Copies of this chain bind each other. A is one copy, B any other.
Amino acid sequence: MSKMNLLQAVNHALTTAMEQDPHMVCFGEDVGHFGGVFRATSGLQEKFGKDRCFNTPLVEQGIIGMANGFAASGTTVVAEIQFGDYIFPAYDQIVNETAKFRYRSGNEFNVGGLTIRTPYGGGIAGGLYHSQSPEANFTHTPGLKIVVPRNAYEAKGLLLSAIRDPNPVLFLEPKRLYRASVGEVPETDYEIPLTVADVVQEGKDITLLAWGAQIEYAEKAAAMAAKDGISCEIVDLRTLLPWDRDTVAASVNKTGRLLVTHEAPITSGFGAEIAATIQERCFLSLEAPIARVCGLDVPYPLALEKEYIPDQYKIYEGIKRTMNF
C-alpha cells in the first residue's frame, strides 16, 4: 500500500500491465517522452522503450484506427485521447469499427485487446472543450464496454481489468480528481471486476446513483440529507456498459426512490437509460418519480461553471423533492 493520486494509480496500472505483457503498447498525443499532458504515461517510454510507448501525430481518428489494427493482430494496446472532448474525430473508428469488429467478422477477428483512456469532465475551468463528459455519446453502442473510476484505488483495479478484458473498453478518467483524489493503493496487481456496481454507502430512504467525480457530490449531499434524517444509499455504477442492473434494482426496491446524477447534459444522458430501465423493473416499488440531477442542456460554459455543475446542493434539493413527493 502507498498513498497515490488518481494519476499515479493510472500510471501504476499501465506499468503493471506492460511489465506483464511484453507486447503491450501505449500511444497517443504527447504520451511518449513527455508522459502525456497530465503525465499519466510518465516513465513508460524510459522503461519500455520507444517502440512500446510513443507519441503519435496529432490525429485522433488515426490513433484509434491504428489502435484497432494493432489490437486486431491479437495484441494489447492502450490508446490515449488527450481530452474526452477530442474523442469525436475518432467516433467513426470507435462506433463503426472498434465496437463492431468481432460481430461483423463472425469472430474471425476482434479488437478485444484495445483500451481507450481519456480524461473527461469539468470543474477545471475548461469551458466548452476541456470539460465534456461524453459517456452517453457511447452508451448507445453495443460491443463497447465503458468504465469510470471514482478514486485512485478504483482507477488502478478497474484499469487493469479493462486492459485485460477481451473486449474493447472505453476508460474515462475524471480529470478533476487526477491530483485531488488521493488514497491508499496496493503496489500489487489487483483487478476490480467490470459490470459490478459498488454500494459505497448503505441507506434505506433513497438510492443515489452516480459514477466518477459525481460520487463525491453524492456523498456530500447524502451527508447534508443525513442531518435531516434522510438515509441515502450511494451506488457507484463503475461500468456503464454493460451495466449492473441487478444491483441498482435491488437497491431501489429496497429504498423505493432513485436519484441519478451525472455532469453531462440531462437530455439523452445515461441517466435516461437508468431511469427508463428502473421505472420498468421497479415500478411497484417506486414511491416517487426517479429524479435526474444532471448537467444542463447547454454546451459546457466557462464563467458560470459553478452554476452549471450538478453539485451537492442541487443533489440535496433533489433528494428532498423526491422524499417529499
Asked if A244 is an interface residue, CB under 8 A from chain B, the answer is no
Whose C-beta in chain B lies nearest to the C-beta of A264?
B140
Q: Which of B104, B142, B267, B283 contacts A140 (CB 8 A)?
A: B267
Q: Which residues of B contact A288 (CB under 8 A)?
A: 283
C-alpha spacing A271/B276, complex, angstroms: 8
C-alpha spacing A92/B129, complex, angstroms: 12
Q: Which of B91, B92, B140 contacts A136 (CB 8 A)?
A: B140
Q: Which residues of B contact A96 (CB under 8 A)?
A: 85, 88, 129
Taking the closest CB of chain B, its distance from the CB of A302, in whole angstroms, is 10
Considering only residues 257-284 of chain A, those with a C-beta below 8 Å from chain B are 264-265, 267-273, 275-277, 279-280, 283
Asked if A290 is an interface residue, CB under 8 A from chain B, the answer is yes
Given that A61-B89, A88-B95, A128-B103 are known contacts, is A142 also in contact with B297, CB under 8 Å in the complex? yes
Q: Which residues of B contact A241 (CB under 8 A)?
A: 267
C-alpha spacing A106/B160, complex, angstroms: 43
Q: Which residues of B contact A273 (CB under 8 A)?
A: 267-268, 272, 276
Instruction: Count residues of A near B (Cβ-Cβ below 8 Å).
Output: 45
C-alpha spacing A290/B129, complex, angstroms: 36
C-alpha spacing A128/B106, complex, angstroms: 12
Taking the closest CB of chain B, its distance from the CB of A146, in whole angstroms, is 10
Asked if A103 and B265 sit within 8 Å, CB to CB, the answer is no
Asked if A299 is an interface residue, CB under 8 A from chain B, the answer is yes
Asked if A88 and B85 sit within 8 Å, CB to CB, the answer is no
Q: Which of B128, B292, B298 contacts A276 (CB 8 A)?
A: B292
Whose C-beta in chain B lies nearest to the C-beta of A243?
B267
Q: Which residues of B contact A99 (CB under 8 A)?
A: 299
C-alpha spacing A272/B35, complex, angstroms: 40
C-alpha spacing A55/B299, complex, angstroms: 33
Taking the closest CB of chain B, its distance from the CB of A178, in whole angstroms, is 23
Taking the closest CB of chain B, its distance from the CB of A310, in whole angstroms, is 15
Asked if A142 and B267 sit within 8 Å, CB to CB, the answer is yes
C-alpha spacing A85/B92, complex, angstroms: 9
Asked if A203 is an interface residue, CB under 8 A from chain B, the answer is no
What 10 A-B pairs are tightest by C-beta distance, nearest first? Answer: A275-B276, A88-B92, A91-B91, A140-B268, A139-B268, A272-B272, A280-B289, A272-B276, A283-B289, A272-B273
Question: A residues bordering B, Cβ < 8 Å?
Answer: 61, 85, 88-89, 91-92, 95-96, 99-100, 103-104, 128-129, 136-137, 139-140, 142-143, 241, 264-265, 267-273, 275-277, 279-280, 283, 288-292, 297-299, 325
Q: List 23 A-B contacts (CB under 8 A).
A: A85-B96, A91-B92, A95-B137, A96-B129, A100-B299, A103-B298, A136-B140, A136-B268, A139-B267, A139-B268, A140-B264, A140-B265, A143-B299, A267-B273, A268-B273, A272-B277, A273-B276, A276-B276, A276-B292, A279-B290, A280-B289, A280-B292, A283-B288
